[in-house]
Structure 1
Amino acid sequence: MSFQAYLDTIEDRTGLTPRELLAVARERGLDAPGTKAGQVVTWFADEYGLGRGHAMAFWHVLTKGPQISGKHVGSGGTHADASSTLWLDGRATRPS
């Protein structure tokens, strides 16, 4: 599954865009120095029934922003993304 596919599934399951979830994470203090990925894993599991893969994809965005490695961009593989910049404003507004 690509990073973007993880984010799209997170949006489907939570009803929140990745950008909206970033705001929730900040309100909860999950963007503070020293916060562990496991805290996001627990949050996603407890509140949304999402697993570790989804939580780790979000953790990447929370800690590193929307840029991802170009390693899989356009590779055609299982984890291929169309762009090295993830769309955070929801699939309905994503340019084609």
Structure 2
Amino acid sequence: MSFQGYLDNIQAKTGQSPEDFKQLAGQKGYTEGGVLKATTKAGDIVKWLKEDFDLGHGHSMAVFALLKGIKKEGDK
């Protein structure tokens, strides 16, 4: 599955767009100025998304990659 496919599935399941997750991560204190804080670990994001959105590890890691800037919308 492509990275964009992961994002599409996440949005279908949660109703939240990638931009929504970026805003929510800021509200949770995981990002500052749109950038993932150095103190935020992948496990923090995975735990949050599992608890609040019932996302699995793979989908949560896709959101983490998006927040960290490793991947962006439209990537394959």
Q: TM-score, normalised to structure 2's length?
A: 0.80
Name the structure 1 match of 2:54.
49
Is the helix fraction higher in 1 or 2?
2
Give the CA deviation at 1:65. Answer: 5.9
Instruction: Note the 1:69-88 alignment, pairs <5 A.
Output: 86-87=73-74
Give the CA deviation at 1:44. Answer: 1.1
Name the structure 2 match of 1:75.
none
- The count of corresponding residues between Structure 1 and Structure 2 is 69
Q: Which has the larger radius of gyration?
A: 1
Q: What is the distance in 2 between the residues matched to 1:66 and 1:42?
A: 20
Q: Please give the root-mean-square deviation of Cα atoms over the aligned residues, in Å.
A: 1.4
Q: What is the distance in 1 between the residues matched to 2:4 and 2:51?
A: 22
Could you list the per-position Cα deviations for residues 48-94 of structure 1 after superposition, in whole angstroms to 9, with x for gaps in the alignment? 11111101111111011654xxxxxxxxxxxxxxxxxx24xxxxxxx
Name the structure 2 match of 1:34.
39
Identity between Structure 1 and Structure 2 (%): 38
SS, match of residue 20 in structure 2: helix
Structure 2 runs not aligned, ≥5 long:
32-36
Name the structure 2 match of 1:17.
17
Q: What is the distance in 1 between the residues matched to 2:68 and 2:59?
A: 14
Q: Which 4+ runs in 1 deviate beyond 4 A?
A: none
